[in-house]
Amino acid sequence: MHVISSLKTGIGRLPLGASLAAIRTGIVDTIYPPRCLACPEYTDTAHGLCPACWRDTVFVSGTACVKCGVPLMGEATAEDLCERCQRHPPAWDFGAAALIYQGAGRRMVLQFKHGDRLDMVRPLAAWMASAGALQIAAADLVVPVPLHWRRLLRRRYNQSAELARRLSQLSGKPAAVDLLERRRLTIPQEGMDRAARAANQAGAFAVAARRAAEVKGRNILLIDDVLTSGATLSTCAETLRGAGATRVDILVLARVAFADSLPI
């Protein structure tokens, strides 16, 4: 009763539904205090980061490559390209990333990807929506990179599809989570160079026949959790262009920004 009484302070003038929601939230937070997204530490609010993990998370802000989202030095322009995208232009048009895949950012990606942490979808997608506002505004359709059915059975969900669904809810742009199909089970790409990754992904994707008409003349926003070399996203972009897409942009949760990339 003490918890409920204290929660009622200051919310007496709220609508009944809002008051009850605030009380429920307060009770849950009292019994199960919110924890950091990246570590076991407690936080003041749900779906947040503790001070240490906040400092250890590198958000992509300021000047970044307009193709792959990697941070760049200097003032931003509309034509900023990193050296890698200049030397090896990806198959998509424009792209953005919310985080750098290191430190707490890497821990969050791995927990979300392999740790059955669907509770992380809302905050992670919110960061992506902020980072990719321009790409989202230009999109007609939000499409995730698909998992092969064998990996989907093992993981129980496609993390990219969950992010795409939430981004669709936030933006009002329709999502087509089954538009792309992964026809071939590719091998893990850890340790592969750019050429080997591209060969591994060749022919792995196709547009679902029942949804092919939705691609023609449309601007597609591809969603994935991590961008490393770009081989997977490039193959997906080429597949969508082959089906008639006018423009293909990408938006990822995290971008590997350094040569000594870590296993994902």
pLDDT tens digit sequence for 137-174? 999 999 999 998 888 888 889 999 999 999 999 999 99
Tell me: do 130 and 183 sit in the same domain.
yes
The four Cα atoms 164, 174, 220, 71 give a dihedral, to 10 degrees, of: -40
Tell me: do 9 and 84 sit in the same domain.
no
| Total structural domains within the chain | 2
- Domain of 76, CATH number, reads 3.40.50.2020
Tell me: do 96 and 196 sit in the same domain.
yes
* Domain residue limits at 98: 51-255
Average model confidence (pLDDT) across the chain: 85
Structural contact between residues 68 and 90, judged by C-beta atoms closer than 8 angstroms:
yes
- Residue 39 in any domain: the answer is no
- Residue 224 in any domain: the answer is yes
Tell me: do 97 and 63 sit in the same domain.
yes
- Residue 40 in any domain: the answer is no
Non-local (6+) Cβ contacts of 12 within 8 A are 19
Tell me: do 183 and 55 sit in the same domain.
yes
DSSP line for 179-217: SEEE-S-PPP-TT--HHHHHHHHTT-EEE-GGGGGGTTT
Query: For residue 180, what are the CA distances in angstroms to 88, 102, 200, 236?
Result: 24, 29, 17, 8
- Give me 81's structure tokens: 């390209």
Tell me: do 123 and 249 sit in the same domain.
yes
Tell me: do 228 and 103 sit in the same domain.
yes
Tell me: do 8 and 121 sit in the same domain.
no
- Residue 178 in any domain: the answer is yes
Tell me: do 11 and 126 sit in the same domain.
no
- The tens digit of pLDDT for each residue in 69-89 reads 999 987 766 678 999 999 999
Tell me: do 70 and 26 sit in the same domain.
no
- The tens digit of pLDDT for each residue in 222-231 reads 999 999 889 8
Structural contact between residues 226 and 253, judged by C-beta atoms closer than 8 angstroms:
yes
Tell me: do 23 and 123 sit in the same domain.
no
Tell me: do 56 and 19 sit in the same domain.
no
187-219 core/surface letters (b: 16 or more CB in 10 A; e: else): eebeebeeeebbebbeebbbbeeebeebbeebb
Place of tokens 């961008």: 227
- The tens digit of pLDDT for each residue in 22-61 reads 455 455 455 568 899 999 999 988 889 999 999 999 999 8
Strand partners, 249: 221
pTM of the model: 0.82
- Give me 234's structure tokens: 């490039």
How far apart (Å, rounded) are the C-alpha atoms in residues 177 and 127?
20
